[in-house]
Chains A and B, each alone.
Chain A
Amino acid sequence: NAGVMQNPRHLVRRRGQEARLRCSPMKGHSHVYWYRQLPEEGLKFMVYLQKENIIDESGMPKERFSAEFPKEGPSILRIQQVVRGDSAAYFCASSPTGMREKLFFGSGTQLSVL
């Protein structure tokens, strides 16, 4: 049973480019969470999605960031016009029930903005 798969593992972008981060949840999981880890910081909640629905996006920056979890395919975190401050590790977690005590985390995508 494969775990939560995130790709790419490393992503390098120049300022102003777009970054797309993908997350395939564990089989049977329909709840996805995105967290961001800045250097020297703990993980910060960004968004919680169920299939085709955004449930809680209170942690998402108001501009340039968006997330989706379509009926088919992985969840996508999209960052438009990246800036150096977006450099961070982005973690995806999934759960079968939407209850935070059963979160399974992926290995993360390290985004570096030049």
Chain B
Amino acid sequence: AQSVTQPDIHITVSEGASLELRCNYSYGATPYLFWYVQSPGQGLQLLLKYFSGDTLVQGIKGFEAEFKRSQSSFNLRKPSVHWSDAAEYFCAVGAGYSGAGSYQLTFGKGTKLSVIP
């Protein structure tokens, strides 16, 4: 069974500082990997995804993530955080194939990001 671990429950950074949110996954083959962001009272918005190819993926809002197979990690980064980035961030893994049993995503518990002005 697949699983996702986000070790940091809450992170606080100063505006303008760099950010890295950690995500480790467990999956028997090459997974599909996602980062979603959830602002208070809102649904989840997809930031970026990895399926195959270049292990450094670019997303919206200046975010990027790097897939490291050897470490089973997919950490999210941003060079300079803005106050509007304060939200909760979820890493998710999906089966790396299509068909029966592949429809569901497994989410981590999330990392809440606070930004100090």
Residues in chain A within 8 A of chain B (CB atoms): 3-4, 6, 33, 35, 40-45, 48, 55-56, 58-59, 91, 93, 98-101, 103-108
Q: What is the bound-complex CA distance between A63 and B90, given in angstroms?
A: 29
Which of A59, A99, A107 makes the CB contact (< 8 A) with B42? A107
- 6 pairs, A vs B, C-beta closer than 8 Å: A42-B106, A42-B110, A56-B103, A100-B94, A103-B46, A105-B43
Q: What is the bound-complex CA distance between A58 and B105, given in angstroms?
A: 12
Would you list the 9 A-B pairs with minimal beta carbon distance, nearest first?
A42-B107, A45-B104, A105-B43, A105-B44, A43-B107, A48-B103, A107-B43, A42-B109, A106-B43
B63 within 8 A of A: no
Which of A4, A91, A100 makes the CB contact (< 8 A) with B104? A100
A44 and B43 contact, Cβ closer than 8 Å, known pairs A56-B101, A99-B98, A101-B51: no
Chain A residues positioned under 8 Å from B110 (CB to CB): 42
Q: What is the bound-complex CA distance between A107 and B45, given in angstroms?
A: 10
Beta-carbon contacts of B77-117 to A below 8 Å, as 1s and 0s? Answer: 00000000000001010100010111111111110000000
Residues in chain B within 8 A of chain A (CB atoms): 4, 6, 32, 34, 36, 41-46, 49, 51, 90, 92, 94, 98, 100-110
Q: Which chain B residue shows the least CB distance to A107?
A: B43
Chain A residues positioned under 8 Å from B102 (CB to CB): 100
Minimum CB–CB distance from B70 to chain A (whole Å) comes to 24
